Amino acid sequence: MQELKDNKIIIGFSFLYIALSAYLVWTDLTFLVLAPIGLMAVYFAIFHTEYMYLAIAFLTPLSINIEEFTESFGLYVPTEPLLFGMMLLLLMQQAQKNLIEKDIWKNPIIWAVLFYVGWIFLTSFTSSSPLVSFKFLLARLWFIIPLLIFGTRIFNKRENIIRFIWLFSIAMCIAICYTLVMHAGYAFGEKEGHWVMWPFFKDHTIYGATIAFTVPMAFGLYFSKKHTPLVNAVLMTIIGIVLVGLFFSYTRAAWLSVIAALGVLALIKLKVKFSLIASVTAFLLIVLYFSWDTIQMELARNTQEHTTEQFGEKLQSAANVTTDASNLERLNRWSCAISMFEERPLLGFGPGTYAFEYARFQHPDNLTIISTNFGDQGNAHSEYLGPMAEMGIFGLLSMVLIVIAIFYKSITLYNRWPVEDKQMRVILLAMILSLVTYFVHGFLNNYLDTDKAAVPIWSFCAAFIGLEIGLNKKRDTSIK
């Protein structure tokens, strides 16, 4: 009897909602129809934070930047409003009771990120545009606080790591299929390949970077354990879609980042010592420094254009710094970043200010057909030179420390993880290789200000910390 009564109440409210929605649409107040969805999001954020976190994993590849429609400010919906709301709710809950495990403050990844955020805060006061810089800081916080700090609680359950990867990969396949269908309508043309991923991705570079990030995840899921034939078929389909999407992204940096990930995979499997890698890297940097003039002469002979659609020729064009406009414009942005650093080497011009300052640092000899005199075409095209120009030498150092801490702790965790737990070892390795693709890509582009990169990167960092805390507790228990 009670169940029948409850059903009548639900049906009654459903009809009331439909009637109210119809009235709102009729009166041009359509946006208010979304209010119940917002209330539902608040409910899940408060009472089922875990589900909201995982929902964000699925929504990230499918989010849309409203700047494309409003031409006012950039905001990725629905992910960034959800993250901002989660940040406020979690901070309020933290004020009432401690939600954060004290062990996370011992992790070098957290130390490096806190140094990074602290330096952003400090240089926002000395910024050429403080309002821009504090907005930049706020945007960083609504990624870092819910995803990294509180995400360690979500990933105390290892199942959530696998669910996160599944959801992100499936959503990415939806975005890739949409793009491939659109691209097929233009016979997979090179020029059309730069924008057919809209509105889910701004251009082919961030699209290619996100696909490259997904490649190791898809293979990791497949090789992590034995699956049923149906699951195997699904995973093979995901792998196929991701690889086809990667090829037709026409993004050279993404292709090269996957190749770099394969190189790191070989180093990890061969258990090459870090000291040897550091020595070889230092030697190569020295050779590069003393051979730079010769290398420039060789690069100048490369006139392979970016417009070709042949895979080998496109890779070859990545080294063309003579006639390729894309490469030349990237060099222009890097040159501006270095010049900005030279003018303000300690504190920089302020977080998030590169796009507003770099125009006057463009040298006439470096301008290309895609340069603008107003300097209104974006960022420094480097995850390392950008912070250096905006926050000085310590801005660069903070980013380098984050990268070092991430790979040191993740690879150490992989080596410590029990050999008999094959599933999590494979997943850990896949996560490490995904991060390799991004941070190698980071030499040529920077996307940490977007949800497409920030959500998976900070989430993976939280997963490493959560898994390490769990492993340490298990070890301590066994000792006792």
pLDDT digits (tens, 9 = 90+) for 447-471: 999 999 999 999 999 999 999 999 9
Q: Which of 94-98, 286-290, 431-435 has the lowest mean pLDDT?
A: 286-290
Q: How far is CA 256 from CA 185, 439, 443, in A?
A: 27, 12, 11
Amino acid letter at 205? T
Write down the pTM of the prediction. 0.87
| Residue 251 pLDDT greater than 70, yes or no | yes
Mean pLDDT of 363-382: 75
Task: Count CB-CB contacts under 10 A for residue 74.
Answer: 14
Angle, in degrees to the nearest 10, between helices 229-247 and 252-269:
130
Query: What mean pLDDT, rounded, does the chain reach?
Result: 84
Confidence (pLDDT) at 321: 47
Confidence (pLDDT) at 418: 93
Q: Which of 8-22, 53-67, 317-331 has the lowest mean pLDDT?
A: 8-22
How far is residue 424's CA from residue 435's CA, in Å, rounded to a whole number? 16
Amino acid letter at 424? M
Q: Which of 139-143, 252-256, 266-270, 318-322 has the lowest mean pLDDT?
A: 318-322
How far is residue 325's CA from residue 370's CA, in Å, rounded to a whole number? 7
- Residues 390-412 pLDDT 10s: 999 999 999 999 999 999 999 99
- Residues 50-94 pLDDT 10s: 989 999 999 999 999 887 666 656 788 889 988 998 998 889 888
Cis amide linkage into residue 199, ω under 30° from 0: yes
Confidence (pLDDT) at 349: 97
Confidence (pLDDT) at 10: 46
Q: Which of 182-191, 303-312, 326-335, 370-379 has the lowest mean pLDDT?
A: 303-312
Which has the closest alpha carbon to 146: 100, 207, 197?
100
Cis amide linkage into residue 78, ω under 30° from 0: yes
| Residue 436 pLDDT greater than 70, yes or no | yes
Which two structure tokens, joined as six digits, stand for 177? 């299929």
How far is residue 105's CA from residue 100's CA, in Å, rounded to a whole number? 9
- Residues 32-55 pLDDT 10s: 445 555 556 665 666 678 989 999
- Residues 378-393 pLDDT 10s: 789 999 999 999 999 9
Task: Count CB-CB contacts under 10 A for residue 216.
Answer: 24
- Residues 219-230 pLDDT 10s: 999 999 999 999
Which two structure tokens, joined as six digits, stand for 224? 């992590």
| Residue 5 pLDDT greater than 60, yes or no | no
pLDDT tier at 375 (50, 70, 90 boundaries)? low
Q: According to the 3-state scheme, what is the secondary structure of 229-263?
A: HHHHHHHHHHHHHHHHHHHCCCCHHHHHHHHHHHH
Domain residues of the chain, as ranges?
278-366
Confidence (pLDDT) at 67: 75
pLDDT tier at 319 (50, 70, 90 boundaries)? very low
How far is residue 420's CA from residue 72's CA, in Å, rounded to a whole number? 53
Q: Which of 34-38, 150-154, 206-210, 247-251 has the lowest mean pLDDT?
A: 34-38
Task: Count CB-CB contacts under 10 A for residue 292.
Answer: 10
Within 8 A by CB and 6+ apart from 405, the residues are 108, 109, 111, 112
Confidence (pLDDT) at 49: 84
More confident residue, 461 or 16: 461
- Cβ distance 209 to 254 under 8 Å? yes
| Residue 208 pLDDT greater than 90, yes or no | yes
Mean pLDDT of 340-364: 93
Confidence (pLDDT) at 298: 57
Amino acid letter at 104? I
- Cβ distance 219 to 430 under 8 Å? yes
Helix/strand/coil percentages in the chain, nearest 5: 75, 0, 25
Task: Count CB-CB contacts under 10 A for residue 472.
Answer: 13
- Cβ distance 408 to 393 under 8 Å? no
| Residue 120 pLDDT greater than 50, yes or no | yes
Within 8 A by CB and 6+ apart from 253, the residues are 205, 208, 209, 318, 441, 444, 445
| Residue 190 pLDDT greater than 90, yes or no | no
- Cβ distance 128 to 353 under 8 Å? yes
CA 402 and chain centroid, separation = 14
Bridge partners of 76, per DSSP, are: 65
- Cβ distance 391 to 127 under 8 Å? no
Bridge partners of 77, per DSSP, are: 64
Q: Which of 20-29, 91-100, 254-263, 338-347 has the lowest mean pLDDT?
A: 20-29
Q: Is 378 left (phi over 0), alpha (psi -120 to 50) or beta?
A: left
H-helix or E-strand spanning residue 80: helix 79-96
pLDDT tier at 100 (50, 70, 90 boundaries)? confident
pLDDT tier at 283 (50, 70, 90 boundaries)? confident
How far is residue 318's CA from residue 333's CA, in Å, rounded to a whole number? 16
Mean pLDDT of 359-380: 76
Residue 389's Cβ-side half-sphere holds a number of Cα atoms within 13 Å equal to: 24
Confidence (pLDDT) at 366: 75
